[in-house]
Structure 1
Amino acid sequence: MEIILRTNMDNLGALGQVVNVKPGYGRNYLIPQGLAMLATPANKKRFELERKKLQEKLDAVRFAAQELADKISAVALRIPVRVGEGERLYGSVTSGNIADLLNTDHGLDVDKKTILLNDPLRALGDYTVEVRVFQDIRALLQVAVVRHDADQAGQAEVPKTDAVETTELAVEATQAEE
């Protein structure tokens, strides 16, 4: 089945290109979604009239996606996590966690499906994560996975000993009695 693409498609082709696809894919997905139209002589003429509008719309979406990619690249996420023995994380940091932080803390509209993580992050450290913003526009996001009890400077607190804790409890009890 020959169709005319009305948008750029990663695996098929560019806007305006005539391609052959399986009939079910074209009839059940591409045409109903408005991504393509049948390649008839009448549709080819109609498409040529529409081409300029579609190209302008695609350029606007691409420009907005590039702005979002620039904003994402400027962000450095710091994700505090709980760790156990041997600096091993309880659980892991997933693309959903990263997307939630970007959406809530930084006001960026990022879907977790666009964050390209091969495997969840399971260790402390600095990572570079790729975010697919648009078809061929990608952003690199810096993610630092740190201990949850680290202070603002990024250094871990000194663990308290039993003697220090006992002294602190005695001071608190004295203050409560006063």
Structure 2
Amino acid sequence: MEVVLLEDVKALGKKGQIVKVNDGYARNFILPKKLGIEATAKNLNDLKLQKANEARLAEEQLEAAKALGAQLSEGSVTLSMRAGEGGRAFGSVSGKEISIAIKNQLGYDIDKKKLILSEPLKTFGSHEVPVKLHKDVTAKIIVKVVES
């Protein structure tokens, strides 16, 4: 019996794959647990339409990420930090603070986990911070740290 997998099945295949299995395995394991459906003409057509829809959605998400990346690259955010003796910084600027500043100053809601900071910013001046918006799109935003 041929079955279209609805989820990844260990040692059998990935989601969306058409696999040939024994009738008993399909009737007793795959179909009751909703891991797959029988590969009929209607089900194959539905699968094809679903894949086309997913591809269209992925393309729209990529385009939206590119547009947001272009807007972020043009903007910059300014954060103020207290200074100690000799112009040395007190503390640091973390990803969470940068994320909040982007939301307040530019109006974009960027998750702090999307900011690629190897370590918090501890010096005054301008810093380029990469932002991973999509698996294929990484934008850079200018973060200016000034004395308060």
TM over 0.5: yes
Offset of residue 4 of structure 1 = 2.5
Q: Which runs of 5+ in 2 are unaligned?
A: 1-9, 18-33
Q: Deviations over 1:124-149 (max 9, x none)?
A: 1221100011122110111121111x
For 1:87 and 1:141, the matched residues in 2 are separated by 25
Which position in structure 1 is the counterpart of 2:60?
Answer: 60
Deviations 1:89-138 (A, max 9, x none): 21110111110011111111111110110000011122110001112211
Contact 1:69 1:138 in 2 (8 A): yes
Q: Which residue of 2 aligns with 1:140?
A: 140
- 2:44 matches 1:42: no
Give 1:131's aligned amino acid: V
Q: Kindly report the root-mean-square deviation, in angstroms, between the aligned alpha carbons of the 2 structures.
A: 2.3
How far, CA to CA, are the matches of 1:105 and 1:62 in structure 2?
24
Q: How far apart in 1 are the matches of 2:82 and 2:98?
A: 16
Report the counterpart of residue 15 of structure 2 in structure 1. 4
Q: Return the letter of the residue paired with 2:112.
A: K
Instruction: Measure, in 1, the Cα distance between the counterparts of 2:64 and 2:115.
Output: 18
TM-score w.r.t. the length of structure 2 is 0.70
CA distance in 2, matches of 1:39, 1:117: 42
Instruction: Report the AA paired with residue 67 of structure 2.
Output: E
CA–CA distance in structure 2, aligned partners of residues 94 and 41 of structure 1:
52
1:71 match: secondary structure = helix
Distance 1:95 1:147 in 2: 18
TM-score, reference length from structure 1:
0.59
State the match for 2:3 in structure 1: none
Aligned to 1:129: 129
Partner Cα separation in structure 2 for residue 143 and residue 74 of structure 1: 12
Could you tell me which residue of structure 2 aligns to residue 11 of structure 1?
A: none
Q: CA deviation at 1:39?
A: 7.2
Matching of residues 1-178 of structure 1 within 5 Å: 1=10, 2-4=13-15, 42=39, 45=44, 46-148=46-148
Shift of 1:40: 6.8
Tell me the distance in 2 between the aligned counterparts of 1:72 and 1:142. 9
Answer 1 or 2: higher relative contact order, Cα 8 Å, separation at least 6: 2
**Deviation, structure 1 residue 57:** 1.0
| SS of aligned partner of 1:123 | coil
CA distance in structure 1 between the partners assigned to 2:39 and 2:49 by the alignment: 11
| Separation of aligned partners in 2, 1:59 and 1:80 | 38
Give secondary structure in 2 for the equivalent of 1:144: strand
